[in-house]
Amino acid sequence: MTTEIILPERVRQLIIAGWTGRDRAAQEKHIAELELLGVRRPPTTPVYYRASAARVTTSASIETTGNESSGEVEFIMLQTGGALWIGVGSDHTDRKVETYNITVSKQMCEKPVARELWLFDDLSDHWDSLVLRSWAVDDGKRRLYQDGSVSSMLHPRDLIAGYVGESGSLEEGTAMFGGTLPAIGGIRPAHRFDFELEDPVRKRRLAHGYEIRSLPVAG
């Protein structure tokens, strides 16, 4: 059970893969969910957004501009030390900015990640059994926000191939977020966001949580 500790300074480039659903019906549900917030449909699927590598953090809190942002749990891939590692993170996104520029919305917020990583080779034979979950905490109440198998999203090899080509691999120091699940009860902000990636076959999990501090908008 090989594990690694993520060091944000090792991340040289960050890619946010969007619209990665294997199930077209489930993907359409997420697209429709975002359309209700004014987010335009993607021109193609999947889409690979770039964001600053400095946005990756293991901090237990982040600061956002205003209170119209929210987290979403995703598995992450990191190529480091000559190997592909798997972790879990939150693609925290400014939803207001997302309605007019998705790429900028991805850049607006930090991307909290769990400190530990698993070696992909230890997961490849049972990948689809892994489970993503998240909880939104507000007014002192912790509610399940997302829950589902990674099989809802394209396989890591397919996501990587879609970005670099069939025979390629991610460059050293590249992190890629792999897509998310529909929100239970709809997308909404919270004061705290907790998330995890569970491996039920090996009976282990990666988990992290963070507080969201909203900064005032002066104009």
Q: Hey, what domains does the chain have and what are their CATH numbers? A: 3-215 (3.90.850.10)
* Predicted local distance difference test score (pLDDT) of residue 80: 94
Long-range contacts (CB closer than 8 Å, 24 or more residues apart) made by 51-55: 51/14, 51/15, 51/16, 51/103, 51/106, 51/107, 51/111, 52/14, 52/107, 53/8, 53/11, 53/12, 53/13, 53/14, 53/173, 53/175, 54/8, 55/14, 55/107, 55/109, 55/110, 55/111
Tell me if the pTM is above 0.85.
yes
71-114 pLDDT tens trace: 999 999 999 999 999 999 999 999 989 888 888 999 999 999 99
> Where does the pLDDT of residue 1 fall: very low under 50, low under 70, confident under 90, or very high at 90 and above?
low
* Predicted local distance difference test score (pLDDT) of residue 47: 93
pLDDT of 211 strictly over 70 = yes
* Predicted local distance difference test score (pLDDT) of residue 167: 74
Q: Which neighbouring-strand residues pair with 86?
A: 77, 118
Cis before 182 (ω within 30): no
pLDDT of 210 strictly over 80 = yes
More confident residue, 61 or 32: 61
132-186 pLDDT tens trace: 999 999 988 999 999 999 999 999 999 999 999 887 899 999 999 999 998 999 8
